[in-house]
Amino acid sequence: MNIREIDASLMKRAFLAGAHGLEAKKEWINELNVFPVPDGDTGTNMTMTIMAAAREVAALENPTMETLSRAISSGSLRGARGNSGVILSQLFRGFTKEIKTKEVVTVSVLADAFVRGTETAYKAVMKPKEGTILTVARGMAEKAVEMASKTEDVEEFAREVILYGDFVLGQTPEMLPVLKQAGVVDSGGQGLMQVMKGALDGLLGKEVSEEDADDIFGKSEGGAAAVRSGFGPDAADLDTADIRFGYCTEFIINVEKQYDENIEREFKAYLESIGDSLVVVSDEDVVKVHVHTNDPGLAIQRALSYGSLSRMKIDNMREEHQERLIQNAEKLAREQKEAERSEDKAAAGKEQAKENGTSASGTETKNPRKPYGFIAVSVGEGMGEIFKGIGADYLIEGGQTMNPSTEDMLNAIDQVNADQVFILPNNKNIILAAEQAKYLVEDKEIIVVPSKTVPQGITALINFIPELSAEDNLSTMMEEMERIKTGQITYAVRSTQIDGMEIHQGDIMGLGDQGMLAVGSSIERTAIETLKAMVDEESELISIYYGSDVKAEEAQRVFEKAQKACPGCEVELHNGGQPIYYYLMSVE
DSSP for 187-217, written as a single string: HHHHHHHHHHHHHHHHHTT-PPPHHHHHHHH
pLDDT for the residue 246 = 77
pLDDT at 368 over 70: yes
pLDDT for the residue 542 = 95
pLDDT for the residue 265 = 85
pLDDT digit string, tens, across residues 383-417: 999 999 999 999 998 765 578 889 899 999 999 99
Least confident segment among 276-280, 420-424, 576-580 = 276-280
Instruction: Give the confidence band of 217 by pLDDT, cuts at 50, 70, 90.
Output: very low
Q: Provide the percentage of residues in the chain whose pLDDT is more than 90.
A: 53
Distance separating alpha carbons of residues 446 and 409, to the nearest angstrom:
11
Instruction: Give the confidence band of 215 by pLDDT, cuts at 50, 70, 90.
Output: very low
Instruction: Give the confidence band of 287 by pLDDT, cuts at 50, 70, 90.
Output: confident
pLDDT for the residue 34 = 63
Distance separating alpha carbons of residues 540 and 216, to the nearest angstrom:
52
Distance separating alpha carbons of residues 309 and 312, to the nearest angstrom:
7
Distance separating alpha carbons of residues 413 and 420, to the nearest angstrom:
10
pLDDT for the residue 177 = 81
Specify burial of residue 266 (Cβ count, 10 A radius: 0-12, 13-18, 19+): exposed
Instruction: Give the confidence band of 529 by pLDDT, cuts at 50, 70, 90.
Output: very high
pLDDT at 178 over 60: yes
pLDDT for the residue 510 = 93
Instruction: Give the confidence band of 228 by pLDDT, cuts at 50, 70, 90.
Output: very low
Q: Is the dihedral of CA 441, 461, 488, 539 positive or negative?
A: positive
Specify burial of residue 44 (Cβ count, 10 A radius: 0-12, 13-18, 19+): buried
pLDDT for the residue 36 = 62
Instruction: Give the confidence band of 375 by pLDDT, cuts at 50, 70, 90.
Output: very high
pLDDT for the residue 238 = 33
Instruction: Give the confidence band of 360 by pLDDT, cuts at 50, 70, 90.
Output: very low
pLDDT for the residue 400 = 59
Distance separating alpha carbons of residues 463 and 466, to the nearest angstrom:
10
Which H or E run includes 375? strand 370-378
pLDDT at 491 over 70: yes
pLDDT for the residue 536 = 92
| Residues 457 and 554 sit within 8 Å (Cβ to Cβ) | no
Other CB atoms within a 10 A radius of the CB of residue 509 amount to 22
Is pLDDT larger for residue 29 or for residue 315? 29
Instruction: Give the confidence band of 319 by pLDDT, cuts at 50, 70, 90.
Output: low
Question: Mean pLDDT in the chain?
Answer: 82
**3-29: average pLDDT:** 92
**164-178: average pLDDT:** 89
**282-292: average pLDDT:** 75
pLDDT for the residue 124 = 83
Distance separating alpha carbons of residues 250 and 314, to the nearest angstrom:
6
pLDDT for the residue 293 = 87
pLDDT at 530 over 60: yes
pLDDT at 348 over 80: no
pLDDT for the residue 202 = 92
- Predicted TM-score (pTM) of this structure: 0.65
Distance separating alpha carbons of residues 138 and 155, to the nearest angstrom:
20
**CA angle at residue 366 from 364 to 370, to 5 degrees?**
80
Other CB atoms within a 10 A radius of the CB of residue 539 amount to 16
Distance separating alpha carbons of residues 523 and 540, to the nearest angstrom:
24
Other CB atoms within a 10 A radius of the CB of residue 201 amount to 18
Taking 3-state DSSP, the helix, strand and coil percentages for the chain, each rounded to the nearest 5, stand at 50, 20, 30
pLDDT for the residue 120 = 93
Residue 414 vs residues 393, 473, 549, 559: alpha-carbon distances, Å:
12, 22, 34, 40
Distance separating alpha carbons of residues 351 and 175, to the nearest angstrom:
49
Distance separating alpha carbons of residues 342 and 348, to the nearest angstrom:
10
pLDDT for the residue 337 = 45
Distance separating alpha carbons of residues 548 and 355, to the nearest angstrom:
30
Instruction: Give the confidence band of 284 by pLDDT, cuts at 50, 70, 90.
Output: low
Specify burial of residue 434 (Cβ count, 10 A radius: 0-12, 13-18, 19+): buried
Distance of CA 193 to the CA centre of its chain: 21
Q: Which of 484, 583, 489 is nearest to 539 (CA)?
A: 484
pLDDT at 237 over 70: no
Which residues is 249 bridged to in the sheet?
291, 314
pLDDT for the residue 35 = 63
Radius of gyration of the chain (CA): 25
Other CB atoms within a 10 A radius of the CB of residue 513 amount to 15
Q: For residue 231, give every residue at least 6 positions away whose Cβ sits within 8 Å of its Cβ, in sequence order, or none.
A: 281, 283, 286, 288, 439
Distance separating alpha carbons of residues 106 and 112, to the nearest angstrom:
10
Instruction: Give the confidence band of 43 by pLDDT, cuts at 50, 70, 90.
Output: confident
